[in-house]
Amino acid sequence: MQTDNRILDDIAKVINGFAGTVAGMGREAEAGARERVREWVGGLDFVSRDEFETVKAMAVAARDEADALRARLDALEAKANAGSAPAA
């Protein structure tokens, strides 16, 4: 009877050791995969949210300024055309 318990204890120790090894391998594989993805994404031309929002605001401001200049130019052209119209 005593030998049966020893055998079962040894089998349990081997299984626990194997489970710990498999868990460690899983953690290492996950860490390696994360690092590879981080390197891959780092090589792409992504921008941060703050940079995107800054450029977006600059584009909106430039569009507003262009619209204002277009309206001013149209008004000046209309005034120039009205002043150069022949008197009837």
- pLDDT score of 5: 85
**pTM for this prediction:** 0.45
DSSP state of 73: H
pLDDT digits over 44-67, tens only? 777 889 999 999 999 999 999 999
Residue keyed to tokens 């450029």: 55
Angle at 68 between CA 67 and CA 73, to 5 degrees: 95
Is 80 exceeded by the pLDDT of residue 33? yes
Q: How confident is the model at residue 2 (pLDDT cuts 50, 70, 90)?
A: low
Could you tell me the maximum CA-CA distance found in the chain, to the nearest angstrom? Answer: 128
* Weakest-pLDDT range from 24-33, 38-47, 50-59: 38-47
- CA 17, 18, 23, 24 dihedral sign is positive
